[in-house]
Structure 1
Amino acid sequence: MIVIDFKKNAEEKNYWRKKNKFYYESLENLFKNLIPANASVLEVGCAEGDSLHVIGNKDVAGFDFNPYHIQNAKEKYPSIKFYCLDAEAPDFNEKAKEINQKFDFIILCDLIGTLNDIQNVFERLKVFCHSRTKVIVTYRNYFWNPVLKAAESLGLKMKEGEQNWLYIHEIKNLLYLAGFDVVRTGSMILMPLKIPFITSFINKYFSKLPLIKRLCLTGFVIANNDISEVKGSSDYKVTVLVPARNEEGNIDNIVKLIPQMGSGTEIVFVEGNSSDNTYQKIEEVIKQNPDKDIKLFKQPGKGKGDAVRKGFENATGDILLILDADLTVAPKDLPKFYDALSTGKGEFINGSRLVYQMHEKAMRSLNKAGNIFFSNVFSWLLEQRITDTLCGTKVLFKKDYLKIVENRKYFGDFDPFGDFDLLFGAAKLNLKIIEIPVRYGERTYGETNISRFRDGMMLLRMCFFAMRKIKFNL
C-alpha cells in the first residue's frame, strides 16, 4: 500500500510540475542566479532532480524520501548522485553517511511547509555542511493561502493538504536556533501565471519594489552555516594593500602605524603615477625597514580600482585588507576588521565613516549627504545593510576575492573606484557583509584625489548598473 502511495505521489507531482512549468522555471532561474557555477550543491527533497539538472553544476546531489522519484531521477540524469533518504526519519543520521560529502550550497525548495519539525531538519543538515556552506530556503507567502486553496479547488494546482505557513521572522528564528546565520532575504513571483511580456515585466520590476514585494508568492532566505569551525584569529597571513598617489608625506607613518596581525602582515604599496616623490619615498622606507615584509608595484593603469587589482594580484596573504594612503582611517583600527573576518562574524567587512562624529574638515557636507543617499540606495539594491559604500577600508578572504575575479565576466570592467567591484562581487556571491564603524580624520598631507561632482555621476551610473545586474536580474 505504501509503495502504491509513493508511486501515485510521484506521478502526481510530475504531472503538476509540467502543468505549472513557469513557476518551477522561475525557481530554477533563482537558483542559477544565486549559486556560482563551480559550487557543489545538495537539494533536499529533490523529486526527480529536474532543478539540479537545470542548475547545471558538475558536483551536485539530491535526496528524496520517495523511492520512485529517486529511481526515475537516476534514469533521467545518470551523472547526478541521488539518494533515497527521509530528512525526518529516525535513521536519518545513519543513512546520511552514504552521502559522505560537504556541500557549498544546500537547497530546500518549498519544503518547509511540509515538515513536521523544521528546526530538527535544519539541524540535521549540519552533517552536509562545511564552515562556508550556504543554505537556500524558498517558501510561500501566507498571503497567498486562500488563493492557492481556491486554485486547488478549481483543479489548477496539486492538492497538498495542510501546510506550515511561516512568516519570514519565524524562518529566520528557526535557522538561528539550528545554528545558521541569515545573510539575505528576498521575494519573487508577483504574477505566477505566464502572460507574454506582462508577467515577465511585473515579476522582474514590480516584485522588487518596497511594500509591493510583500505580496509576492515566493520568498527566499540565504543563510550561512554558523562559522565555528574556522581557524583561530592568529592563523591567517594578512596583506594590507595601500594604493598611493601623491602621498609622499604619509608613507613613513603608514609603515610605522600598520600593526602586525595574524601569523604575519605583508604591506603592498601600489603607486599610481604620482606627481610628487611617492614612489621614491616608498623605496626608501623599504630599505629602512628590512625587518618588515613590504612590496612595491607601479600601477599600470589609472584609478584606485586598477591599483587594487594590481595589488591583490601580487598579494600572498590569506586575508586581503585595503587601507587608503591618506590615513583618514587610522591603521590602529585594522585589527578590528581582521578579527571580524577571521572569527566568522562576517565574510566581507566594510568600514563605515558615518557612525561617529568626524572632524569638521574631514568630509564636506555635500560629500556626506551624497554618501548617505547612495548608502540607502545600495542597501536596497544589495539587500544587505550598507551605510558607507565609499569607505576605502574593506577586508575579505583571498579565496573569496578570487571568486569575485571569476565573476567579473558577469559584471564586466565597470568600476574605476574598486569599491563597487568588491561590493557587487560580494553581493553576487551572497557573502555576509558587515560594517565596522571607524573614525574619519582630517587629511594631514596632500589634497584629496576625489572629484565630488564627477564621481557623484559615476555613483549614479553604479546604481543603475546594480539595478540591472543584481536587483532586477532574479
Structure 2
Amino acid sequence: MRRLADASAPERRKWYARGAFFHAEDLHYLKFLIGEGARVLELGCGTGELLAALRPRYGVGVDFSAGMIGEAHKAHPHLTFLVGDIEDEAFIRQLPGPFDVILVVDTLGAVDDCQGMFENLHALCARETRLIVGYFSHLWYPALKAAETLGLKMPQPAQNILSPADVGSLVALADFEAVKSERRLLLPARVFGLGRLFNRFIAPLPLVSSLCLRHYTVCRSLRHRSADVRSASIVVPARNERGNIEPAVQRIPRFVEDLEIVFVEGHSQDGTWAEIERVRAVYPHYDIKAVKQPGKGKSDAVFAGFEVARGDVLIILDADLTVPPEQMPKFWEAIRSGKGEFVNGSRLVYPLEVQAMRFLNLIANKIFSILFTWLLSQRFTDTLCGSKALRRSDYARLKAARGYFGEFDPFGDFELIFGASKLGLKAVEIPIRYASRTYGQTQISRFRHGVMLLRMVVFAFLRIKAM
C-alpha cells in the first residue's frame, strides 16, 4: 500500500483537480466545522491540499507515504508535514499537541486497527479538542470501484467498509464520544450545475440523507472531559420583575463557594432597578452585581450579563422564576463533571403546573424541538427554555462566531444553541419542573416573536443544514 501511494504521489494533484467539485463540497462543510486560525492535525494528509485550504494557525500533516509528504512540502512550505505511522503510539505521542482539531478524512480505510489508532489520539487532546472523522458510505463502494475502473477516480487498494454507526462504535470503544454525525454530498459531480443545488437542499432531507456519499462524525475525548472550574455566575435578566428579585436571591443555593449573581435590569417600569439596589444592600454577604442593559430584548440582557460575569461557568436564570432557582446546582454539576459542555433546561418532561405554559406555547415548543434536533444533530426537547449553562471560555469562542448566524433572535436561546453546535459542544438537557408565575406578566409577544423564531429556523436550515 505504501509503495502504491509513493508511486501515485506525483499524479495526486491531477486526480485532485479531476475531482475538484467533490473536494470543494467536502471542504465547504469542513470549513463550517473548523474555523480559520485553529491548531489542526490531519492524519493521512496526502499531498496536503485539504490541510492548506483550512488555513490553520498551526497545521501538521502526517502520512505514511514519503512521496506524498515530499509533494506536500513543495506545495505548502508554511505547514509542517511528517512521514509516520499513525498507528504507532510512540510516533503519535511525540507530535506537538494538543490540537484544536484532529482530522481523519478518508484514512480509516487503510488502518489495520481503528480502535487502537483512536486510543492513541488522547495524548494529543485537550478538553476543547474535536476529532472529526470523515469517510464514505458503504452504499457507494460499488460505484466508487466502478469509477476507478473508468479512470474517473484515483485507484486505491481494498478499503475498510465502515458505516456511521461503525465509526460511532469504534470511537466509543476508544473512549471518545460522538457528539454529532452528519451525512452530506448526494452528487459528487456538477451534473450540469445541479450538483450544488442537490447537495445543499435535497441531500440533508430525512431519508434522502441516508443515500449520501459522505458521513462526518464529530467527537470529543472522554479522558479530557472534566472541567477545571471553581466559580460560577448566575445571570438573571430582569424586566418588570420587582417582586421576584429578593426571592431569587433567597432561593439560589450556595452550590459553589465562589458564586456571584448578576442582575441585568432591562428598562423596567415597576421599580425593578431600585429593588435590585435594595436587595444588594440587604444581602451584603452575597456577591451581587447589577447592570442596566444597553439595548433591548432578553438576548441583549443575557450577553450584557455575560460580559461582566467573572465565573468559570455561566448560568442563565430567568427572573420570572418559572424555572426554580433550586435547580441551578444541576446545571453547574453537568458542566463541572464534563458530562455536558452546553447545558439546556427542558420544561417538557415533567408535568406542568396549571397555567404554567399556554397550549399554543406548548405546541410551538414541541415543533421547534423536533426541527432543531434535526437541524443540529443533537437532541433538544425544549429550545425555548431560558435556563442554560456553559463555560465562560466556551462563550468567548462562541461569541467570536455569533455573526455567522445573524443577530435577530429576540431571546438569545438560538444564538447560544447554534453557536454551541458550530463549536461541536456536547449538549445535554436537564429536565426541570416548570412553575407558574407568582408576580408580573410574561414579556413575550407570542405571535410576533413566534414569527421571528420561525425565521430563525429557516435561517438555521440555510446556514447549518443546507449550506
The TM-score with structure 2 as length reference comes to 0.97
**Which residue matches 2:319?**
325
**Which residue matches 1:440?**
434
User: CA 1:371–1:229 in 2, change beyond 3 Å: closer, same or farther?
Assistant: closer
**CA offset at residue 334 of structure 1?**
0.7
**CA offset at residue 380 of structure 1?**
1.1
**Which residue matches 1:50?**
49
Q: Take 1:7 and 1:470, find their aligned partners in 2: how far apart are those partners?
A: 38
Counterpart code for 1:71? G
1:108-155: CA deviations, max 9, x gaps?
111112211111111111221112211111111111112112212222
Q: How many residues of Structure 1 are paired with residues of Structure 2 in the alignment?
A: 467
**CA offset at residue 6 of structure 1?**
4.8
Q: Take 2:58 and 2:185, find their aligned partners in 1: how far apart are those partners?
A: 28
User: 1:155-234 residue pairs with structure 2 within 5 A?
Assistant: 155-228=151-224, 230-231=226-227
Q: Take 1:199 and 1:160, find their aligned partners in 2: how far apart are those partners?
A: 25
**CA offset at residue 63 of structure 1?**
0.6
**Which residue matches 2:8?**
9
Do the aligned partners of 2:92 and 2:120 also contact (CA within 8 Å) in 1?
Answer: no
**CA offset at residue 413 of structure 1?**
2.0
**CA offset at residue 156 of structure 1?**
1.7
User: 1:333-352 residue pairs with structure 2 within 5 A?
Assistant: 333-352=327-346
Q: Take 1:444 and 1:6, find their aligned partners in 2: how far apart are those partners?
A: 70
**Which residue matches 2:350?**
356
**Which residue matches 1:19?**
18
Counterpart code for 2:306? F
**Which residue matches 1:310?**
304
1:40-92: CA deviations, max 9, x gaps?
1100001111111111121111111111111221222111111111113xxx2
Q: Take 1:224 and 1:202, find their aligned partners in 2: how far apart are those partners?
A: 31
Q: Take 1:4 and 1:327, find their aligned partners in 2: how far apart are those partners?
A: 67
**CA offset at residue 225 of structure 1?**
1.0
**CA offset at residue 197 of structure 1?**
2.7
Counterpart code for 2:281? K
**CA offset at residue 166 of structure 1?**
1.4
Counterpart code for 1:467? F
**CA offset at residue 453 of structure 1?**
1.2
User: 1:61-460 residue pairs with structure 2 within 5 A?
Assistant: 61-88=60-87, 92-228=88-224, 230-231=226-227, 235-460=229-454
Counterpart code for 1:37? E
Do the aligned partners of 1:41 and 1:107 also contact (CA within 8 Å) in 2?
Answer: yes
**CA offset at residue 228 of structure 1?**
4.0
**CA offset at residue 183 of structure 1?**
0.8
Counterpart code for 2:195? T
Q: Take 1:113 and 1:6, find their aligned partners in 2: how far apart are those partners?
A: 14
Do the aligned partners of 1:243 and 1:323 also contact (CA within 8 Å) in 2?
Answer: yes
Question: Structure 1: which 5+ residue stretches go unaligned?
Answer: none
Of 347-356 and 136-145, more deviation after overlay is shown by: 136-145
Counterpart code for 2:357? M
Secondary structure at 2:129 match in 1: strand
Counterpart code for 1:128? L
Counterpart code for 2:249? V
Counterpart code for 1:425? G
Counterpart code for 1:50? E
**Which residue matches 1:463?**
457
**CA offset at residue 229 of structure 1?**
5.5
Counterpart code for 1:465? F
**CA offset at residue 196 of structure 1?**
4.2
Structure 1 segments (4+ residues) deviating >4 Å: 2-6
Secondary structure at 2:440 match in 1: coil
Q: Take 2:5 and 2:320, find their aligned partners in 1: how far apart are those partners?
A: 67
Secondary structure at 2:203 match in 1: helix
Q: Take 2:358 and 2:272, find their aligned partners in 1: how far apart are those partners?
A: 26
Q: Take 1:362 and 1:304, find their aligned partners in 2: how far apart are those partners?
A: 20
Secondary structure at 2:25 match in 1: helix
User: CA 1:440–1:421 in 2, change beyond 3 Å: closer, same or farther?
Assistant: same
**CA offset at residue 97 of structure 1?**
4.2
1:190-221: CA deviations, max 9, x gaps?
01112343111001110000000000011110
Of 187-196 and 392-401, more deviation after overlay is shown by: 187-196
**CA offset at residue 13 of structure 1?**
3.5
Q: Take 1:274 and 1:331, find their aligned partners in 2: how far apart are those partners?
A: 22
Counterpart code for 2:23? Y
Q: Take 2:284 and 2:3, find their aligned partners in 1: how far apart are those partners?
A: 77
Do the aligned partners of 1:237 and 1:261 also contact (CA within 8 Å) in 2?
Answer: no
User: CA 1:71–1:149 in 2, change beyond 3 Å: closer, same or farther?
Assistant: closer
Counterpart code for 2:207? L
Q: Take 1:268 and 1:175, find their aligned partners in 2: how far apart are those partners?
A: 40
Q: Take 1:98 and 1:182, find their aligned partners in 2: how far apart are those partners?
A: 26
Q: Take 1:335 and 1:342, find their aligned partners in 2: how far apart are those partners?
A: 10
Q: Take 2:366 and 2:437, find their aligned partners in 1: how far apart are those partners?
A: 21
Do the aligned partners of 1:227 and 1:344 also contact (CA within 8 Å) in 2?
Answer: no
Counterpart code for 1:440? Y
Do the aligned partners of 1:245 and 1:272 also contact (CA within 8 Å) in 2?
Answer: yes
User: CA 1:217–1:229 in 2, change beyond 3 Å: closer, same or farther?
Assistant: closer
**CA offset at residue 98 of structure 1?**
3.8
Do the aligned partners of 1:132 and 1:227 also contact (CA within 8 Å) in 2?
Answer: no
Question: Structure 2: which 5+ residue stretches go unaligned?
Answer: none
Secondary structure at 1:47 match in 2: coil
Counterpart code for 2:276? I
Q: Take 2:419 and 2:27, find their aligned partners in 1: how far apart are those partners?
A: 21
Q: Take 2:352 and 2:256, find their aligned partners in 1: how far apart are those partners?
A: 30
Do the aligned partners of 1:182 and 1:222 also contact (CA within 8 Å) in 2?
Answer: yes
Counterpart code for 2:290? L
Do the aligned partners of 2:368 and 2:383 also contact (CA within 8 Å) in 1?
Answer: yes
Q: Take 2:223 and 2:316, find their aligned partners in 1: how far apart are those partners?
A: 24
**CA offset at residue 458 of structure 1?**
1.3
Of 165-174 and 239-248, more deviation after overlay is shown by: 165-174
